[in-house]
């Protein structure tokens, strides 16, 4: 059981490390969004996908270790969670505390990731709204009416109103 606990703590540590990496990438992504740097955003997204793939592998390992621990404890593997496991370790306070600390660090990092993702989602939404506004403005500029200006031979000059996008005079 001790080796399984060590393996679980190791796997949880790796998982936390990858989430911290994702948090750093999330901050880089935010900067790329703010600067509208598409190349940097693409590069960060590729890195995030690589780390996410690693996280998936780590998650499978964690599930396997928890299944082994559930078997040793005689518990249902489908219902064993870290919180329940911490509760089962009453007679092993050292392992219980180490597991609790690791779980708390992982939860804290996960909360930070969730916050960053929400902020980045909001920034991307605003950026898309600005792009849509700009496109609408450009489309409307092509559809402005012509002025009723005529040259000496009574031909329409074809001047457009509001070609600058603003009608204010300075």
pLDDT higher than threshold 80 for residue 149: no
Q: Rg for the chain (alpha carbons), in Å?
A: 29
pLDDT higher than threshold 90 for residue 23: yes
What contacts 6, CB < 8 A, 6 or more positions away?
Answer: none
> What average pLDDT score do residues 133-152 get?
72
What distance separates the 2 farthest-apart alpha carbons in the chain?
Answer: 103
- Give domain 2-142's CATH number out of 1.10.10.10, 1.20.58.300, 3.30.565.10, 3.30.420.40: 1.20.58.300
Distance CA 94, CA 52 (A): 31
Q: Could you tell me the residue ranges of all domains in the chain?
A: 2-142
Helix spans in 38-92 (H): 38-73, 82-88
Confidence band, pLDDT 50/70/90 cuts, at residue 152: confident
Q: Residue 134: how many CB atoms within 10 A of its CB?
A: 10
pLDDT higher than threshold 60 for residue 74: yes
């Amino acid at each position: 059981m001790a080796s399984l606990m060590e393996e679980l703590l190791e796997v949880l540590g790796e998982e936390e490390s990858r989430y911290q990496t994702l948090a750093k990438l999330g901050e880089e992504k935010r900067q790329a969004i703010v600067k509208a740097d598409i190349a940097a955003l693409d590069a960060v997204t590729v890195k995030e996908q690589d780390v996410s793939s690693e996280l998936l592998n780590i998650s499978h390992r964690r599930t396997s270790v928890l299944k082994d621990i559930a078997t040793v404890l005689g518990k249902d593997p489908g219902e064993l969670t870290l919180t329940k496991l911490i509760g089962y370790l009453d007679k092993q306070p050292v392992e219980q505390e180490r597991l609790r600390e690791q779980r708390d660090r992982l939860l804290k990092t996960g909360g930070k990731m969730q916050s960053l993702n929400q902020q980045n989602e909001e920034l991307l939404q605003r950026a898309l709204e600005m792009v849509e506004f700009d496109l609408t403005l450009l489309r409307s500029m092509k559809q402005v009416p012509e002025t009723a200006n005529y040259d000496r031979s009574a031909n329409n000059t074809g001047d457009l109103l509001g070609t600058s996008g603003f009608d204010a005079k300075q």
